[in-house]
Structure 1
Amino acid sequence: MTAEIVIINQHGVAMAADSAVTIGSQKIINSAIKLFSLSRTEPVGIMIYGSANLLNIPWETLIKLYRKENDSKLNNLINYGEGFMDFLHSQLHLFSDDQQNDWASNRISDIFNYIIEQIKTEIINLQNKGAHVDEVVINTHAESIILEYLEVLRGNPQIYEDDIEQSLLDRIDSISIKLIEDVFPFTSSKPDIRNLLTRVAQLSVLNCAPINSSGIVIAGFGEKDIFPSVVTYEIYGVFNNQLLYIIRDDKTIINENSKYMKSDIIPYAQEDVVRSFLDGIHPELFNYAIDFTEKTISQILSDPLLEFKNDIDIKSLSKACSESLKQEIQRFMTSNLLSPMIEMIKALPKDELASMAEALVNMTAFRRKMAFSSMETVGGPVDVAVISKGDGLVWVKRKHYFPKELNTHFFENYFK
């Protein structure tokens, strides 16, 4: 896990990243490098979050290969993003068919294991309530849970076009058959449920389910850019010799002219602490308040003493009330908390951009340190860079895995 920040205004863009990386489920190492320059000479930086590898190749290796082979000036920041994606497409020969199948298998397996845990939890709850549980009950609840998750997958952005080749579906099906038999043996006599699981497997690969994905953040200036921009990609993997990714529009800012110049604070990965600072309320508390409101209204309207209850749709009314509350709280947060913060950011000089970015990452690290029930998944030295049109990429804080004084040749050879 990680915490990263981009703060952007008319003067430039600050990027900050912590150093924590989780190995397995328990081990945390605080020496990972997640922030790099994308060009040796041009004002462009790149950060990574989420998975540190694309299949089995470290992102650091791919970034530095790109930097070695591509040192030309590009007109706009988005061109650097497109260029990096084109470079990744040119490297797909590094990923064998077996590696791509393993990626798909791991992805499908993660989702299947999540679904089976949901089914087990539901069955245990029924047993604890004294309900009779047999094969029919198990299959009924399993089908319901699978259908719910299928709807979640359908709601994710789709990478492939609607016209999907049958050979691609057959390839996914051949991977999922054994997984279905291993994880859902009780469905052996239920072809309808197995067909649903097959569709879940297909959408696990075809759609952008946020599982073990990598985030790529590219920020800075192109040759013709006067103001900075940032573009964020969510990269899922490689399958069928295709790089699977989308652009995160919610975390992308393209500033093309001064009239619509946008300033913002963009958090990545573990965003809850930064969102609490910006919005004035923790995201989990916000969601809890909305859910609690909906449930409370529904319970009140379900009171048998209310004579008019049969004349109204209780579920729709409680949903409408909670949605109205949600919109009003969001409006208040935006107008009274977030917007004034963004207005202040517009005037920050470059050094203050760097200080604020570092402070927000450190604040997340401190919150994780003080949380008794969670691991310190954010921590270690914070790398900070500021990118401006005139000065390029300037490191404010940067860790090295080697002593600088013993490796002068590294810095001498950097620009050769």
Structure 2
Amino acid sequence: MYKDYTINQFKEYLDSMVDNLFARKTAVLDSPLFEEDDTFSNEYPKDILSEIKELFIEGFFSYMTYGYEYGKTNLIFSGYGSDEEYPVMIRVMVSHGFDNRICYYIDPEDIHAISDANPVAICPYAQTDIMDALLTGVEPHFFRNVCSISENMFNEIKKQLSIDCMSVEESEEIDAILNKVKLNDLTRKFKQYGKRILVEERRQWLKALNNYSVQDMANLAENLIAMTSFERHMTFSQESVGGPIDLAVITKNNGFTWLNRKSWYHHKDVGGRYGKFGI
């Protein structure tokens, strides 16, 4: 969404653009081919376009305002505000720019604030599958795969029992018993039980992290990224994670501090001096 940007401001900015667009759409009707045809007046489509102009602008405004899910990127902001005693991390979804404004969205669930009641947090972003597997002890799609396999096995067992029955009466009796089994309910309960396991496993990590030093927490973050890179390499996946890792910490007293950072050199700079991307 756009902050402090009204529909009237949007209309004012877009008004001339829409007029030019509609003018191009009706220009073809001004050709001599339509002059002799009284049943199709040049003014008729122009009147229609004039009527729908308001709806067009309002619909476009709605799309531009709430269409942040399309082609979005994420920005992570972390640190201390002037009034915060503890750090806060916020993920902002940025979609596009329009009229010198940025369309963005902040999900309240993506605001992680450290407090006395919530002293630690682990917040992976982007490619989180390997990190989640380590922190929860389970591969991300494990429960979904188990539910799918269990459903297929149940149907196969049901089918096989029907085949092995000696009579039609036995087959119908077995079907009646198995049909009482609510597979969806079992799947739901299994997922709920699995979710409790994941929450407890992650809680153990957070409990241990509470005793980590700043350096230990930084090392954990670096190793989580390195493990993701290693998995991509070993499984011949697209190696979208890898290379040197930038590592920094933010503390209340010292602010932003680099622990490890890569240096960018210009590709023609054989002398080893920093290029235009040097940091």
Q: TM-score band, normalised by the shorter chain?
A: 0.5 to 0.7
C-alpha spacing 1:244/1:290, structure 2 compared with 1 (3 Å): farther
- The CA distance in 1 between the partners of 2:101 and 2:119, in whole Å, is 33
The match for 1:348 is: 212
Give the TM-score, by structure 2 length: 0.65
- The CA distance in 2 between the partners of 1:170 and 1:407, in whole Å, is 49
1:318: how far off? 1.6
C-alpha spacing 1:206/1:405, structure 2 compared with 1 (3 Å): same
The match for 1:358 is: 222
Which structure shows the bigger proportion of residues in strand conformation? 1
Does 2:272 correspond to 1:383?
Answer: no
- The CA distance in 2 between the partners of 1:287 and 1:369, in whole Å, is 25
Query: Superposition pairs for residues 149-164 of structure 1, below 5 Å?
Result: none
Does 2:175 correspond to 1:318?
Answer: no
1:321: how far off? 0.9
Query: Superposition pairs for residues 196-215 of structure 1, below 5 Å?
Result: 206-207=66-67, 209=69, 211-215=70-74
Is the Cα contact below 8 Å between 1:251 and 1:266 reproduced in 2? no
Is the Cα contact below 8 Å between 2:263 and 2:274 reproduced in 1? no
Deviations 1:112-142 (A, max 9, x none): xxxxxxxxxxxxxxxxxxxxxxxxxxxxxxx
The match for 2:27 is: none
Does 2:140 correspond to 1:283?
Answer: yes
Q: 1:386 is paired with a residue of what secondary structure?
A: strand
Max Rg structure:
2
- The CA distance in 2 between the partners of 1:86 and 1:395, in whole Å, is 33
User: How many residues were matched structurally?
Assistant: 221
The match for 2:192 is: 327
C-alpha spacing 1:250/1:307, structure 2 compared with 1 (3 Å): farther
- The CA distance in 2 between the partners of 1:169 and 1:227, in whole Å, is 42
Q: 2:257 is paired with a residue of what secondary structure?
A: strand
- The CA distance in 1 between the partners of 2:87 and 2:113, in whole Å, is 8
The match for 1:263 is: 120
Structure 1, unaligned runs of 5 or more:
1-84, 88-95, 98-164, 173-201
Q: 1:395 is paired with a residue of what secondary structure?
A: strand
1:214: how far off? 0.6
1:293: how far off? 2.5
- The CA distance in 1 between the partners of 2:3 and 2:256, in whole Å, is 23
C-alpha spacing 1:344/1:239, structure 2 compared with 1 (3 Å): same
- The CA distance in 1 between the partners of 2:139 and 2:57, in whole Å, is 42
- The CA distance in 2 between the partners of 1:310 and 1:328, in whole Å, is 28
Is the Cα contact below 8 Å between 1:213 and 1:235 reproduced in 2? yes
Give the TM-score, by structure 1 length: 0.45
- The CA distance in 1 between the partners of 2:142 and 2:225, in whole Å, is 21
Q: 1:265 is paired with a residue of what secondary structure?
A: coil
Identity %: 23
The match for 2:34 is: none
- The CA distance in 1 between the partners of 2:207 and 2:122, in whole Å, is 11
Query: Superposition pairs for residues 27-106 of structure 1, below 5 Å?
Result: none
